[in-house]
Structure formats: C-alpha cells, structure tokens
Amino acid sequence: MINQEHKRIVTGDRPTGKLHIGHYFGSLQNRVKLQDEYETFILVADVQALTDNFNNPEKVKQNVREIVMDNLAVGLDPNKSTIYLQSMVHEVAELTVFYSNLVTIARLQRNPTVKTEIAQKKEVFGESVTYGFLGYPVSQAADITALDGTLVPVGEDQLPLIEQCREIVRKFNSIYGETLYEPQAYLGENKRIKGLDGNEKMGKSLGNAIYLADSEEEITQKVMNAITDPARIKKDDPGNPNICMVSYYHNLFSNKEEQEAVCSECRAGKRGCVACKRQLAKNMIEALRPIRQRRKYYEERPEEVKEILMEGTKKAQKIAAGTMERVKEAMKLDYFKN
Ligand code: ATP
Ligand code: MG
C-alpha cells in the first residue's frame, strides 16, 4: 500500500497569534525553499489551538486569517502549495481516536515538549491537564498521516512530537499492515530563534518577538529595546557580543563583513550599542520589506485569502478521504465493502 517514491510536505502553525521571525527561520523559510521539490501542505491547526485556548474561540478564529496571510507573505505560492484548515478535515478527528489506542498515557506525559508546555500553562490547566491537551501529539500524528506527509519542516521544539508520530505509525503498521507513511522532521540551520529579551525561544505570547507584520517603526522600536551585554555601560567599555541579542540578530540579518565588524568593534569598545542597533534595524527592515509588502497585498484582499484557504481545504479533504479508506480496510472497519 505504501509507495516508496512518494514525497509530500505536511506542516503547519497554530492560530494563536501572528507569525514572527522565529517561525520564519525555524520553519517558513524551509517551506518556501522546498515547495518546488515537494508537494506542500500547510495546515492551520485550529483544533490544536483550542486544546489550550478552549475558553477563547474568538482568538483562534481571528488568527486563522493571520496565519494564512503570514504563510503567503513569506512566499508560499498558492498555485504550488496548499493551505488548509484542520477542523474541516474530519478524518483527522477519526484517526485521532484510532491512534489513541496505540499510545500510553505515560508516554505522552514523558514527551519533553508536552511536559514543558504543561508546566508553562498552569494558569490554563491548574493542577490537572486536560485529556485533549495531553493527547495533542496524537492528533498531530493524525494531521501528518491523514495527508500522507513524509517530510515535516519544523523548529526544534517539535522534534519530540514528530518522534511520537513516527512511533504511532510504526505501531499501526506493525499491527494492521503497512498503511501509513512514516514522516521525517526537517530542521533548518536556525532551529530555535531566541527572543529579544534573551529568552531561549522567541514566542507568540512572550512579548519578545518581531512579527512579520510589524511596521518599520515597530521593528526599530523593538530593536532599540533589545537586550545587550549588561556589563557595558559606556560606549568605550569593551563588550561581549556572545551575550548580546543585537549581535545575535546581526548574524541572521547582516552580511559576513558587518557581522565581523560588529563583533570586533564591540569587543574593542569602538562601537556603541545605539549605532549597532540602528544598523540592525535598518537591515531587518530591508530584509523583511518584501514580506511586509506581500502581506499588505493580502490584508487588502480578505476574499482572496478566504478563497485560498477554502480551495486548499477541499484538496486536503480529498487526500484524507483516501487515507481513511486505506486505514479502515487495514483495521477491518470496512464491513459493507465486501
Ligand atoms: P504556541 O505558543 O501557540 O505553540 P508557537 O510560537 O510555538 O505558538 P507554533 O504554531 O506552535 O508556534 O509553531 C509553528 C512552527 O514554528 C513550528 O514548526 C515551531 O517549531 C516553529 N517555531 C516556533 N517558535 C520558534 C522559534 N522561536 N524558533 C524556531 N522555530 C520556531
Ligand atoms: Mg508551539
């Protein structure tokens, strides 16, 4: 049932906020790079977003459009890549039920990403996490396999979830016969982008992000407030670029020559932080300009955005229906077929 030649990207984002440069370097950039080589499906994970935002459905709804626009803004071509809405692919819910027999509660509780996230979400869950949130890796496995995904471009925090998906696939195939594709994670060079405040992860809800939708003024203002070497007080104090967020982002947005000058002049106390920040803001504004411009195009055309998502969802539904036929046959749930 499995075609060894088959190649397809399935990945996505939770509509819990606009996307930022962490998402860009962690995953979006790779989606764009690979969209000519791979058939590409991007899911807007609204059902997954509800697992920890069940009491705020309006937030999830509002952000669906933002996520679609962010993906289009970075250069995903709607004629090549498909963007779709998770909640409208019903097979995902059905597969989640089937897969839940193949995962133990202890294994879910040991998943390092789930563990960290539960610890961060005490205010949502209190002392006892919901069944839905604990089980979201299972529904994410359903997302990827429903669409027969083979490659999943993601940031580093997603690796334990992809690993859990692979385990579910192997277990399914060993019990019911070769039916599902086992996907692989695809990590970029910059698998985890730090926040403006020095936090290990730039996050949608941490107030430490530069969003793809930010204006030139917002970018400048955020860069001017970024954390630098705290021991450096006067301009001619020697600085340590290794603990400076401005230097960190120069490595992502400035050319090699500039990066080297930033480091050596900072260490020698020859470059002030303000000048260094201004240069970074200028480079960031420049690099993000085409993204901002494409985003603006779609902001002005909400109907076009809706149409892209609707068409994409229809395409995803067809593929998921095919997977479900294979799965039901393998699981002997095809009573009326023969
Ligand atoms: P949430 O807090 O709602 O989970 P999030 O910022 O983690 O939001 P997701 O929608 O969960 O965003 O993730 C979308 C993709 O972006 C995933 O592949 C994830 O690994 C990647 N990603 C998110 N933040 C970063 C980051 N700071 N650096 C690199 N990749 C990231
Ligand atoms: Mg996340």
Mean pLDDT of 239-268: 93
Lowest mean pLDDT segment, chosen from 24-33, 145-154, 211-220, 268-277: 268-277
Q: From atom 18 of ligand 1, which residue's Cα is the shortest distance away?
A: 154
Ligand 1 center–CA 156 separation, angstroms: 9
**Nearest ligand for residue 157 CA:** 1
Query: Which has more pLDDT, 73 or 2?
Result: 73
pLDDT tens digits, one per residue of 6-48 = 999 999 999 999 999 999 999 999 999 999 999 999 999 999 9
Kindly tell me if the per-residue pLDDT of 99 is higher than 90: yes
Lowest mean pLDDT segment, chosen from 74-78, 143-147, 256-260, 287-291: 256-260
Ligand 1 center–CA 168 separation, angstroms: 22
pLDDT tens digits, one per residue of 307-322 = 999 999 999 999 999 9
Pocket perturbation via mutation, ligand 1, pick of 157, 211, 212 by most ligand atoms within 8 A of CB: 157
CB of 189 shorter than 6 A to ligand 1: no
Q: What is the 3-state secondary structure (H, E, C) of the chain?
A: CCCCCCCEEEEEECCCCCCEHHHHHHHHHHHHHHCCCCEEEEEECHHHHHHCCCCCHHHHHHHHHHHHHHHHHCCCCCCCEEEEEHHHCCHHHHHHHHHHHHCCHHHHHHCHHHHHHHHHCHHHHCCCCCHHHHCHHHHHHHHHHHCCCCEEECCHHHHHHHHHHHHHHHHHHHHHCCCCCCCEEECCCCCCCCCCCCCCCCCCCCCCCCECCCCHHHHHHHHHCCCCCCCCCCCCCCCCHHHCHHHHHHHHHCCHHHHHHHHHHHHCCCCCHHHHHHHHHHHHHHHHHHHHHHHHHHHCCHHHHHHHHHHHHHHHHHHHHHHHHHHHHHCCCCCCCC
Kindly tell me if the per-residue pLDDT of 1 is higher than 80: no
- The fraction of the chain above a pLDDT of 90, given in percent, is 88
CB of 205 shorter than 6 A to ligand 1: yes
- The fraction of the chain above a pLDDT of 70, given in percent, is 99
Please give the pLDDT value at position 2: 80
**Nearest ligand for residue 204 CA:** 1
Please give the pLDDT value at position 256: 93
Nearest atom of ligand 1 to the alpha carbon of 191: 29
Mean pLDDT of 267-295: 95
**Nearest ligand for residue 71 CA:** 1
Ligand 1 center–CA 296 separation, angstroms: 23
| pLDDT band at residue 235 under the 50/70/90 scheme | confident
CB of 71 shorter than 6 A to ligand 1: no
**Nearest ligand for residue 203 CA:** 1
CB of 26 shorter than 6 A to ligand 1: yes
Which domains are assigned to the chain? 8-193+302-330 (3.40.50.620), 216-294 (1.10.240.10)
CB of 23 shorter than 6 A to ligand 1: yes
Nearest atom of ligand 1 to the alpha carbon of 195: 27
Nearest atom of ligand 1 to the alpha carbon of 157: 20
Kindly tell me if the per-residue pLDDT of 127 is higher than 90: no
Q: Record the pTM.
A: 0.95
CB of 20 shorter than 6 A to ligand 1: no
